[in-house]
A = this chain, B = another copy of it.
Amino acid sequence: MKLYGFFRSSAAFRVRIALNLKRLDYQQAFIHLRRGEQEQPGYRAINPQGLVPALETDGLTLIQSLPIIEYLDERYPDPPLLPGDPAGRARVRGLAAIVACDIHPINNLRVLRYLHGPLGHDEAALAQWYNHWIDAGFGALEPLLAASPHTGAFCHGDAPGLADIALVPQVVNSERYRLDLAPFPTIRRIYETCMTLDAFAQAHPRAQPDCEA
C-alpha cells in the first residue's frame, strides 16, 4: 500500500489517520506541493487531477480522500469508521462533507495561489479569506455537534470515525492564521480528545518525514 501525500496536505492527513486507525502498514511517496511536483507528468499519470492524496492498493489507484477512506473501511471493516445504521452514516458523512466540501477546497493551496497571483491579493486578504471559510464551516459544525445526542467523546459516539478524521486536520489548519477557536468548544474538545490517540498524533504534519521547519 503506497500513499502519495504531502505533510501539509490536510486531505493526505485524513488518509494517514484512517490508515493508522485501521493499523495498516503503508509506504509514503512525498509529492512536494509547493515545488509543484503534483504538476509533473509522472504524478499526473498517477492522479490526473494533480492533487494529493492518491493511494495505490489492491492493484488500484484511488483518489479523493473521503472515497479512499470509505474504500479502506469496506476492505478492512475493523475498527469501523462509519456507524452501522444508515442514519448514523448520513450524519457522519454530512459532518465530514462540511469540512471536505465546504471548507477545505476553498482554502486549498491552488485557490490561495489564484487569489495571490491572478487576483493580486496580499497575505492579509488571504488570511481573512482562509479564516472566513473555516469560521463559516465551524459555525455550522459546532451546533450540529453540541446539540446532538449522538455526539460523544468523538463526533459520533465514543469511537473515532470519518467525521473526526475530517475535523482534526481542519482544526490544525485553523492554526495557520490563528483562528480563535473559543466559539467552538465542542470542536476543540473533540480535537483534543483525538490528539491523545496515536493514530491522530502520528498522522500530524509535524510527525511526517517530509515535514519542513
Residues of A within 8 A of B (CB): 47-51, 58, 60, 62-64, 66-68, 70-71, 74-75, 86-87, 89-90, 93-94, 96-98, 100-102, 104-106, 108, 110-111, 114-115, 118-119, 121, 125, 128-129, 132, 136-137, 139-140, 143-144
Taken together, the copies of this chain in the complex come to 2
CA distance A110 to B104 in the complex (A): 15
Which of A90, A101, A140 has its CB near the most chain B CB atoms (within 10 A)?
A90
CA distance A70 to B66 in the complex (A): 13
Are A114 and B129 in contact (CB-based, < 8 A)? yes
Which of A67, A93, A106 has its CB near the most chain B CB atoms (within 10 A)?
A67
Are B67 and A97 in contact (CB-based, < 8 A)? yes
A/B interface sample: 20 pairs, CB < 8 A:
A47-B140, A48-B139, A48-B140, A49-B102, A49-B137, A60-B90, A62-B94, A66-B93, A67-B97, A70-B89, A70-B90, A71-B87, A74-B89, A75-B86, A100-B101, A101-B101, A102-B105, A102-B108, A115-B119, A119-B129
Residues of B within 8 A of A104 (CB): 101
Chain B nearest CB, measured from A138 CB (Å): 11
CA distance A104 to B121 in the complex (A): 22
CA distance A140 to B44 in the complex (A): 9
Chain B nearest CB, measured from A172 CB (Å): 19
Residues of B within 8 A of A68 (CB): 90, 94
Q: A48-B143, A75-B86, A86-B74 are in contact. Are A105 and B94 (CB under 8 A)?
A: no
CA distance A144 to B98 in the complex (A): 26
Q: A50-B140, A62-B94 are in contact. Are A111 and B106 (CB under 8 A)?
A: yes
CA distance A137 to B48 in the complex (A): 10
Residues of B within 8 A of A105 (CB): 101-102, 105-106
- 10 interchain residue pairs of minimum CB distance: A67-B93, A49-B140, A64-B97, A71-B90, A64-B94, A74-B86, A67-B94, A48-B140, A48-B143, A63-B94
